Amino acid sequence: SQQGEEDPQALSIQEGENATMNCSYKTSINNLQWYRQNSGRGLVHLILIRSNEREKHSGRLRVTLDTSKKSSSLLITASRAADTASYFCATAPIDDKIIFGKGTRLHILP
């Protein structure tokens, strides 16, 4: 069963704009991670946020976590063409295995 679900499934924005994608999950978690996958390339870890954290930054990335709503958001500021990729949230439930969502396909338009 799918633990994490990203929203939207697909997103197209102009270069320079900000991109926001969301992830909802069902059960309590240890941590939530975001990964990026470019076309034809492997998955790359972007950021990990633990259940006791509410916000985390890494360069142009900002991740929030709301455990009461069981949701997380990933914000990419000042988007670039190289940000075109699929973005996956992965949840690590307590005492269970990690589960990836289906992903958000982000397309940055020139």
Q: Which residue ranges make up the site for another protein (CB under 8 A)?
A: 4, 30-31, 33, 35, 41-45, 48, 88, 90, 92, 97-103
Residue nearer to another protein on the CB measure, 33 or 79 = 33
CB of 98 to another protein, least distance (A): 5
Cβ burial 86-98 (10 Å sphere, 16+ → b, else e): bbbbbbbbeeeee
Terminal alpha carbon distance of the chain: 37
Residue nearer to another protein on the CB measure, 16 or 102 = 102
